[in-house]
Structure 1
Amino acid sequence: MRTRTNKKVWKKAVLWLVGIAAAAAIGMCVNIGKRGYDMYREAITEMSLEDKVNEIRSKEHYTVFADLPETYVDAVLSVEDHRFYGHIGIDPIAIARAVINDLKAGAFVEGGSTITQQLAKNLYFTQEKKMERKVAEVFMAFALEHKYSKNEILELYVNTIYFGNGYYCIKDASEGYFGKAPEDMTDYESTMLAGIPNAPSKYAPTVNPVLAARRQEQVVERLVECGMFTERRARETLAAEN
């Protein structure tokens, strides 16, 4: 009799503790969400999204989407956000995968951020890995998707990412690394450039040619996996430098 009573008490205690933990988790999520939204509102109050975008577009070396080589666009999408044209600013599949990998590693090893989220971060936020900053980034990504087309978002993205060597837009990078305008880049140059922003200090060809070449191979492999390159074209692209 006492054993049964003890089991009932234990079961109630466990359910009570689970309920407390769930309530605490929900409360924490709500709190983080509110702080993230406040961070987003503060950012656009200091400078509206329209003003921020106009500021980027007014830069001397700004490159429009029409001047981006198709291969470069495909390469960027394949390694950064291959569902870009199908999502609303966030990619639940990528986020779920990132959460699982982060939990396995016990640290932030994968972000799951879309190109739109990365643009939001480049325009307004720091690289600091805090949950409220990620929430603010999501609100900003939704705002970007509401106000601008996919091509405009991608155009803004390649004009605000860092390519190493002090190059903060695609035109500076293409001219600096290859001595030519973005629209004149070859498949070899496009795939090389697409891989650099993942880790500019490692993959810039002037810093470490070997790592840059390995990263380029990963980009070309992703193009094949995404059906954008044939195996033959992949081989020809990687051999083009020679």
Structure 2
Amino acid sequence: MKKLIKWILGIGSIFLCIVLAIGLIYGTKGYFLYQGVIKDNPLSQLVEGIESKQHYTPYEELPEFYIHAVVAVEDHRFQQHHGVDPIAICRAAWNDIKTLSFAEGGSTITQQLAKNLYFTQEKKLERKFAEIFVAFDLERNYTKKEILSLYVNTIYFGNGCYGIYDAAQKYFGKSPKELTPYESAMLAGIPNAPSAYSPSDNPELAEQRLRQVLKRMEACGVITKTEITNILEESPH
């Protein structure tokens, strides 16, 4: 038994050393990548450019239901973390190890915003570390409300729609502040897979995704089963 315990501890120590070495190597590469993009395009300038756009929708004009829906499906610990969610990262890493892929990233809303501002969808470890450094900058310099509004004004909703204003106009012919709970939940679910969940292209899949959003909101304690039933009654189908 003692030999088995020693063997397990030995394997664990080797694995930990490998993980730390990989983290050091790619973390360093990521830091230099971060330094480069920040130097070429200062964060404050990018943010000012986004906020100055004609149809930029500030936090105060976002429906409360939409805000709750986005946080529930994208990053339910958004208010608690400082840019990175260690719990989500560990869960994603474990799932990635089991599937031998990088299918999950454990990204917070802040990290996703960092990626939208500076990086591509390319799944490289150095890019992931660089994204984390930008996320820390965002959290240091902007409030949670500012980060969330920047996020929903830059994400892709399919059909050429970037940002919540264009999406609300395209799919429902109204401004974001006029969205109903049903419409808000629908839009909150689209960015996960814009082509698949587009209400105009795939209404059935969009409806399924909407139900997932509502279930997630219920699991987070934001709404009740009764409220879900009432919201689904809005469905045009």
CA distance in 2, matches of 1:127, 1:174: 25
- Report 1:162-173 matches (<5 A): 162-173=156-167
Instruction: Select between 202-211 and 20-29 the one with higher mean Cα deviation.
Output: 20-29
Structure 2: gaps of 5 or more residues: none
Runs of 4+ in 1 over 4 A off after TM superposition: 17-25
Aligned-residue sequence identity (percent) comes to: 55
Deviation at 1:20, TM superposition (A): 7.7
3-state SS of paired residue (1:203): coil
Deviation at 1:58, TM superposition (A): 1.2
Matched residue type, 2:69? A
> What's the counterpart of residue 230 of structure 1?
224
Matched residue type, 2:212? Q
Instruction: Work out whether 1:131 is the aligned partner of 2:133.
Output: no
> What's the counterpart of residue 97 of structure 2?
103
CA distance in 2, matches of 1:160, 1:27: 35
Deviation at 1:23, TM superposition (A): 5.4
3-state SS of paired residue (2:79): helix
| Higher CA-based Rg | 1
Normalised by the size of structure 2, how large is the TM-score?
0.92
CA distance in 2, matches of 1:125, 1:117: 11
3-state SS of paired residue (1:84): coil
Deviation at 1:172, TM superposition (A): 0.3
Matched residue type, 2:103? V
Q: 1:75 to 1:25 in 2, by over 3 A?
A: closer
- Give the number of the structure whose residues are more often helix, by fraction: 1
Q: How many residues are treated as equivalent by the alignment? A: 231
> What's the counterpart of residue 181 of structure 2?
187
Normalised by the size of structure 1, how large is the TM-score?
0.90
Structure 1: gaps of 5 or more residues: 1-6
Q: 1:184 to 1:19 in 2, by over 3 A?
A: closer
> What's the counterpart of residue 54 of structure 2?
60
Deviation at 1:241, TM superposition (A): 2.1
Q: What CA RMSD, in Å, does the superposition of the two structures yield over aligned residues?
A: 2.0
CA distance in 2, matches of 1:21, 1:149: 38
Q: For residues 63-89 of structure 1, give each alpha carbon's deviation from its aligned partner in whole angstroms, at most 9, with x where no partner exists.
A: 000000000000000000010000010
Q: 1:195 to 1:129 in 2, by over 3 A?
A: same
